[in-house]
Every structure is written in structure tokens, then in C-alpha cells.
Amino acid sequence: MSHRIAVIPGDGVGREVVPEGLKVLRALGVPLEFEELPWGCDHRGRTGRMMPDDALATLARYDAIYLGAVGWPTVPDHISLWECLLPIRKTFEQYVNLRPVRLLPGIRGPLAGRGPADVDMLFVRENTEGEYSGTGGRVHVGTDAEIAVEVPVFTRRAIERCARYAFERAAERRGHLVSVTKSNASRYSYVLWDEVVAGLARHFPGVRVERVHVDAMAARMVLRPDTIDVVVGSNLFADILTDLGAALQGSLGLAASANLSVDGRGPSMFEPVHGSAPDIAGQGRANPIGAVWSAALMLRHLGYEEQAARVERAIDAVCLDGGPLTGDLGGTASTAEVGDALASRVS
């Protein structure tokens, strides 16, 4: 039985890295059927909409979604994202955003002397609510009296399902979970978060849980990355910390992510952490590794564990051999040359 994958290259370098991901997936010979959906900011220029009215119903018919990047300077970011990426994450209850942060062998990280054994973290980001709830409004628009409120919304249900996923991953890995909040300054939402995590901890006696405030966590990721295994955090905090994580890996172009509809309420979506990168788009310079690694996460999700591991090993091997690598990692290769090297190693 084959799986049907909706492919949304999106905007900017998304259109350059996604073909490399497809190249690697095709080289594996797994029965995947790809259908490309030309949605994004250009589509909005032509039609007035980021995606068609029935886009979510269309996506619901696929087994997974492979996405490049959404956003382009011609459209305000809050519009392009709230009309495309965020509705997909929320509608299909992709309530976990899974983001591995690993220093790849051969990549010189910013923490000289640290190696792959020191940087191997797995971020579990709450992906449906929190600071991204969209609750709020503006009044007295354009006047001196204008105000805007944006209210984070946290529910016990959403915290619990995400934290449970994180505990399960921690139990399979090194048995350590850091829960990131800011429950000293915020008195309600993150306090609820802490309580829910403490309640779940009783069901996972094999997992040691630490509560760390987000500011301290940022410092710890740089100073003692070796003490971090699985991390669970709110939508905004884990967003910020995983850009730091990408920097620890050596480049934003390496970082991968999976938006998991853990209960299978809809297709899950796989996308590199980087955005559309208008500054380098169209030049064939974007690093495709984040997109290829995201494809590996998709393979694992669809049940192709052996092939996922093969793609991850190919990424490690290319890094360890010192290339071919793109300019962000000090190399001179093009996007397609890196994609070719990865594809030839997996086939």
C-alpha cells in the first residue's frame, strides 16, 4: 500500500529545498506518491488567498504533508501564517511539534570542543495554543488611544497530551525531561503547566523531570548542552529555544521538524525549521539538509523506520566527510549538489 503525500513547497527557499527532499525520498524506493500543491504568497498574489477555500478538506485526504516554508515580503507575515501554516497545524491537531537538535559529526559547532555526544536534544513543542492562540483584538485603531491585547490560552487538555508525548520520548531516550516555563513571572498559565507536568510525572517513574525557566534554559543550552535530553515547552518558548538549538547545531539550515497529529486526527506535516529566506532565495544556495532530515521524520512517522535511519545516516556521513556542504556550513556546494550526494548515499 502506498502513502499519498501532499507537497507544499511554499515560498522562497522552500521551493529549492523541497525538491532535494523529494530526490532523497525517491532514491529510497519507498511507495510514496507525491502531489504538489502550489500554495503560498504567489498563489495569494494570483487569487487573493494563500490557499483555496477547500484547502484543509483537500489536505485531510493525504497521509502526510511535506512543507518547505511559508512567507514572503509581499505579504505581511501575520497574514501569510494565519492563512496557511497555523490553520494546518491547528485543524489537524498536530499538537506536538517535534524538533531534534543534534550536533552532526564533522560539523564545527559554536561551542568549540563539544561534539555530537554533547548536543543531542529532542524538543517537544506544544503546537496548537498557548501564546499562538490568536485570542485578542485591537480597538481605537489608528488613534493615539489604540490598544492591542493578545491573550495566551492554555488548556489542561492540550498541555497534558503534549507533555505525555514528551514523557514517552524521554522514557525511550535517556530518561530525562526538562519542562520549560516562566512560572515565576506568569502566575496562571505556566503554573497550570507545571501542575500538569508534575501530575504526569507520577505515571513515569523512570523519567527524571526538571522544571527550568526559559531564560535559564537559554543559557543552559549553550553552557551545558550535555545535560539536556528531552525538552517540553509552550508554543512560543520552544519556538525560540529551537532557533537557538539550530544555532548550536551549526546552522538554521540543518534543523528539522515534525508537526505530529499524534492521535491521527489528520495528516501530520513535516517542514524544516528555517523560513523562506528571501535574502538567498532563487540562488541555489539554501542548505537542503533541514528539509531532507524532515523527510526522514516523515518516513519514521509513516512506518519506514529503516529508511528513515538510512537518510539520517546519509546526513551524518556527508557531514563527517566534510561535504558537499552549502555556504552556511563553510562549503561551496549548491542546494542540488548536496541533495544529489544524499540521494546517492541512500539508494
Indicate the Cα dihedral angle 66, 72, 78, 82, nearest 10°: -30
Give the count of residues interacting with Mn ion (CB under 5 A).
1
Q: How far is the CB of 243 from Mn ion (least distance, A)?
A: 6
**Partner whose binding site includes residue 59, from ligand IPM, Mn ion, none (CB under 5 to 8 Å by kind):** none
CA atoms within 13 A on the CB side of 155: 9
Q: How far is the CB of 143 from ligand IPM (least distance, A)?
A: 29
CA atoms within 13 A on the CB side of 311: 32
Nearer to ligand IPM, 81 or 221 (CB): 81
Q: How far is the CB of 249 from ligand IPM (least distance, A)?
A: 14
Stated as kind and residue range, the H or E segment containing 125 is strand 120-126
**Partner whose binding site includes residue 328, from ligand IPM, Mn ion, none (CB under 5 to 8 Å by kind):** none
**How far is residue 79's CA from residue 102's CA, in Å, rounded to a whole number?**
32
Kindly give, in sequence order, each residue whose CB lies less than 8 Å from that of residue 169, ignoring residues fewer than 6 positions away.
122, 124, 230
Q: Are strands 96-102 and 208-213 parallel, antiparallel or unpaired?
A: unpaired
CA atoms within 13 A on the CB side of 133: 16
As a residue count, the chain comes to 347
Q: Which DSSP symbol is given to 183?
A: T
Nearer to ligand IPM, 59 or 273 (CB): 273
Nearer to Mn ion, 118 or 243 (CB): 243
**Partner whose binding site includes residue 84, from ligand IPM, Mn ion, none (CB under 5 to 8 Å by kind):** none
Stretch that binds Mn ion, among 34-42, 48-56, 231-239, 259-267 (CB under 5 A): 231-239
Q: How far is the CB of 70 from ligand IPM (least distance, A)?
A: 7
**How far is residue 325's CA from residue 329's CA, in Å, rounded to a whole number?**
6
**Cell representation of residue 112:** 568549540
Nearer to ligand IPM, 72 or 204 (CB): 72
Give the count of residues interacting with ligand IPM (CB under 6 A).
5
Nearer to ligand IPM, 77 or 172 (CB): 77
**Is the distance from CB of 241 to CB of 123 less than 8 angstroms?**
yes
Convert residues 206-245 into a mask of x (bound to ligand IPM by CB under 6 A) and - (unbound). ---------------------------------x------
Residues identified as active-site: 132, 182, 215, 239, 243
Q: How far is the CB of 100 from ligand IPM (least distance, A)?
A: 14
| 126 belongs to the binding site for ligand IPM (CB under 6 A) | no
**How far is residue 107's CA from residue 243's CA, in Å, rounded to a whole number?**
17
- Within the chain, how many helices (H) and strands (E) appear? 12, 12
**Partner whose binding site includes residue 16, from Mn ion, ligand IPM, none (CB under 5 to 8 Å by kind):** none
Nearer to ligand IPM, 128 or 326 (CB): 128
**Partner whose binding site includes residue 214, from ligand IPM, Mn ion, none (CB under 5 to 8 Å by kind):** none
Report 233-252 residues binding Mn ion (CB under 5 A): 239
Q: How far is the CB of 10 from ligand IPM (least distance, A)?
A: 11
| 81 belongs to the binding site for ligand IPM (CB under 6 A) | yes
Task: Give exposure, 213-246, as e/b (b: 16+ Cβ within 10 Å).
Answer: ebeebbeebeeebeebbbbbbbbbbbbebbeebb
**Is the distance from CB of 320 to CB of 105 less than 8 angstroms?**
yes
| 273 belongs to the binding site for ligand IPM (CB under 6 A) | yes
Residues lying near ligand IPM in the complex (CB under 6 A) are found at 81, 85, 239, 273, 275
Residues lying near Mn ion in the complex (CB under 5 A) are found at 239
